Homo-oligomer: A and B are copies of this chain.
Amino acid sequence: MTRDQKAPVCVLGAGLIGGSLLRAAVGAGYDAWGYNRSEPGALAARVDGFDVTSDLLGVLTRAADTDALIVVAVPMPAVDHILAQVSTFAPRCALTDVVSVKAPVAAAVHKHGLSTRYVGGHPMAGTSESGWAATDPGLFRGAAWAVGVDEGTHPEPWTQVARLALACGSVVVPVVADEHDRAVARISHLPHVLAEALAIAGAGGGDLALGLAAGSFRDGTRVAATAPALVRAICEPNSEALLDALNDTLTVLAAARDSLRDAGSLADLVDAGFAARQRYDMAQRWEITDIRPGDHDWLEQLREAGRRGGVVTSLD
């Protein structure tokens, strides 16, 4: 079905992720357009030749008329308002999002009665910059794109969302909302927290310390350059999972401190950290080939495969 493979795409929010998605989708041959809250942001996109306006009603009406796939690409604090508009003006469209947490979005989607055609999404890509000026159609190339396989997910919108992720150059990681949120707490939100703390520690050393800082400090604090409001919008909605990860890390760091103080040794920390990083470096994605959306138990099978590092790289 050609129609299904390239259904129109309506992107709500033309910041770094939404704008890059719009660029990538257009580049992949999709009929895609978007909304941006600020008119200067929308104008910047139009100047670059993309169909973006600050007229949310018009954009949603067009989505409803063309049965587009709607992509919510605003920060979590703005999601509820956007979904209220979607439920009013385009309630029957397939719906996904690119927000950094999945359970809170799913709850908001449920609240607005939009669950039936919703499939959560989260491309694992970004930079410390934001806004249309930072957009890049290649941002998602080679990235993991989490696509929800929660109970009740329908195969048709799932396939649409997965196809869009693949068309943007990503591989699809099937994952349920809770497990996604616990995972990203560890590999996306905790890195933000530690980067902020490291930046604070470095600046505490004054001009001398900052002048001596080299690669390890620069890389370790890179994401601390992200706009504070954005970091908070990413991390705070995932507080429960982030608290677990942060508490684990406080325990690990306190043990390292005790060992360094009492025995002059960081052996346990360094050996475990090296092994962990090795595991990350060695981790191989493997291709899920035998599960088709809509087959018996397809959601459960995709879930299991995703937990074991499996990814979808193509769909018939």
Q: Which residues of A contact B (CB under 8 A)?
A: 124-127, 143-144, 146, 173, 175, 179-180, 182-188, 190-228, 231-232, 235-236, 239, 242-243, 245-250, 252-254, 256-257, 260-261, 264-267, 269-281, 283, 285, 306-309, 311
Q: Does the CB pair B125–A271 fall under 8 Å?
A: no
Q: A202-B186, A205-B186 are in contact. Are A309 and B211 (CB under 8 A)?
A: yes
Q: Are A250 and B252 in touch, CB under 8 angstroms?
A: no
Given A242-B260, A247-B257, A274-B228, residue A183 in contact with residue B209 (CB < 8 A):
yes
Inter-subunit contact B211/A269 (CB<8 Å): no
Give A192 to B277 CA distance when docked, in angstroms: 12
B221→A280 contact, CB < 8 A: yes
A242 to B266, CA, bound (A): 11
Chain B: which residue is nearest A220 at the CB level? B191
Q: Return chain B residues, CB-CB under 8 Å to A269.
A: 193, 196-197, 200
Question: Closest chain B residue to A183 by CB distance?
Answer: B209
In the complex, chain B residues whose CB is within 8 Å of the CB of A200: 249, 252, 269, 272-273, 276
- A265/B191 in contact, CB under 8 A: no
Known pairs A184-B209, A199-B277, A224-B274. 16 more at Cβ < 8 A? Answer: A126-B214, A144-B211, A185-B205, A186-B204, A187-B209, A194-B194, A196-B272, A196-B274, A197-B253, A198-B249, A204-B245, A220-B222, A225-B278, A225-B281, A227-B274, A239-B260
